[in-house]
Amino acid sequence: MSFFKKNRDVRLIPVKVKSVHTFPAETIPDGVKMINAQSQWDKGNEGEGVVVAIIDTGIDYNHPDLKDNIIGGKDFTGKGDYMDGHGHGTHVAGTIAATNTGSGIVGVAPKAKILALKALSDDGTGDMNWTISAIRYAVKQKVHVINMSLGGQHSYSLRKAVQEAVAAGITVVAAAGNEGDGDEATEELSYPGAYPEVIEVGAVDFSGMLAEFSNTNNEVDILAPGVNIFSTYPNGKYARMDGTSMATPHMTGAVALLKSIAIADYTKGTHILDLTVEEPVEPPKEEPILLPEPKPEPEPDLEPVPVPTPTPELEPTPTPPPVKPISPLLLLRLIWLILRKK
């Protein structure tokens, strides 16, 4: 692709900086309002105990609205420091976990902690290997969620790293990409977003309309606000930006809130598994019970034929078949319901 620099094969999902602001009084951004994050805060859940790795251009770790939530970081680009010299990673971080301490903005999960992994240079491009190394590092650090507002072409090693993260129990959230043509019937694919293992996030505006730039494909799982998003920006500033990059951290913050509930329950250790059904379940009426075909008894003196094992190491990953006809808008409604309702 011609817009890739030299042999840089990953890039952030391009964004438009629409305006830059100095410090506001504590503000809940419209996107955070739209997904009803407040409904979780009201129940005392602000993402406590959850660690989110943000693989991006780094983060301004001195930003007053972020510094208390950044527990560390690592540079994979050779810069030697995970400071954000671009602005993209800092903006993403604010949507996830800007602190609620009386000024600036509030992120979706204002008590979640951030691990800042710089895998894109200050010009917004990066080697695929930097991203893969960052994913592996996040797995070693046992983070709970990974946010990747970046994308590129399919790479077997990238998918393998994502699969390792998912196998380790980490939720991976990635941007759909901004190559959309405004037509939901045509596919635009960016990776890791389009891998079935990740939660792929497209962008809507504040009225819930799909953003024209948002990639569409059968692996998109959810739509979140990604137009005119207000968040943190380097040097203690704030900016409005557009992109599926901005939608993705709304979902990541929501995942952090949901994981926080699970972690709290687990840590307390007082929950007893109880599958009691309060309402008596109507027994099925005349429906015959369908039993699986009984397996034929194997001949005792025949060696079982070994099932040939697939060799995934050698095969390029095939394009996943379209299996999910569920409308992304329906899914957005679902996450709204989860966050809004008790």
Q: Which residues bind Ca ion (CB under 5 A)?
A: 65, 98-99, 104, 181, 183, 186, 200, 216, 219, 221
Q: CB of residue 327 vs Ca ion: minimum separation in angstroms?
A: 14
Q: Which of 155, 245, 250, 260 is catalytic?
A: 245
- Nearer to Ca ion by Cβ, of 10 and 174: the residue is 174
Catalytic residue among 9, 56, 65, 205: 56
Least distance from Ca ion to the Cβ atom of residue 9, Å: 21
| Amino acid identity for residue 60 in this structure | D
- Catalytic-role residue among 86, 88, 144, 250: 88
∠ CA 151-63-243, nearest 5°, is: 30
**How are strands ordered across the β-sheet holding 145-148?**
70-75, 113-118, 51-56, 145-148, 171-175, 199-204, 220-225
Tokens standing for residue 225 = 């606000």
Buried b (16+ CB within 10 A) or exposed e, 204-237: bbeeeebbebbbbbbbbbbbbbbbbbbbbbbeeb
> What's the closest the beta carbon of residue 102 comes to Ca ion, in angstroms?
7
Catalytic residue list contains 245: yes
Residue type, 180: G
Q: Which is nearer to Ca ion, 68 or 75 (CB)?
A: 68
How long is the chain? 342
Name every residue whose Cβ is closer than 8 Å to that of residue 3 and which is 6 or more positions away in sequence: 11
Residue 195 CB neighbour total at 10 angstroms: 20
Q: Which is nearer to Ca ion, 200 or 205 (CB)?
A: 200
Our CB check for Ca ion shows the closer of 132 and 211 to be: 211
In angstroms, give the least distance from the CB of 267 to Ca ion: 26
In the complex with Ca ion, the residue whose CB is nearer, 42 or 183, is 183
CA proximity to 154, closest of 183, 121, 204, 193? 193
Q: How far is the CB of 186 from Ca ion (least distance, A)?
A: 4
Report the 3 state secondary structure along 83-136. Answer: CCCCCHHHHHHHHHHCCCCCECECCCCCCCEEEEEECCCCCCEECHHHHHHHHH
Catalytic center residues: 56, 88, 245
